[in-house]
Structure 1
């Protein structure tokens, strides 16, 4: 992206009345009751990014009720092993899932129940298909 285009895009993204500060004020309608600093907002954005990939959501759905091996996750999600392993490693490094090893098998379970709850809240926003 050229510097000129980046400046135009950035300047159009925020109205002139919005100050560029390192924090955001409270959200009155939602549950966010405190002011978040910029670094906290970036952490929050990273958590939402974890949920932005449908494959990761399929993996989380596969392990939301019980611990499963990588091969079980592959069978349930119909994703290949390399793809599942890549996503599980990302989720593990973010502290969303934990892994235990038994012989050559790895078993994964969700440890971030807040993120699981966030998925449930999002699910309530989607209308079932007829």
Structure 2
């Protein structure tokens, strides 16, 4: 059974650390996924499989929601330049969301591995 509290805490950690990680682009995002996934797995406990599952959910949520926010922000910002700018920025925003979805899967995998470690240590 999924412990949504653990997933939520892991997601919040990933989201907040990702915002801070903007200053160190590669290391910041990687660290955010590892810390959030570990926290989700540790809080959920239950061993390797449970930690893996909770870390995976926290990482996927963090990546998808972050990508959605970024894509919407770019899409809406283009409307300041009129209809043509809105059309172009909407296409760019959709592209950003698709790229962020791919990145979310990578982030989910690293979070899942860290969550598996956290699940083992949280028992």
Query: If each structure's strand is expressed as a fraction of its own residues, which one has the higher value?
Result: 1
Q: Which has the larger radius of gyration?
A: 1
Q: TM-score range by the shorter chain?
A: under 0.3
> Which protein has greater RCO, CA pairs closer than 8 Å, 6+ apart?
2
Structure 2 length-normalised TM: 0.24
Structure 1 length-normalised TM: 0.23
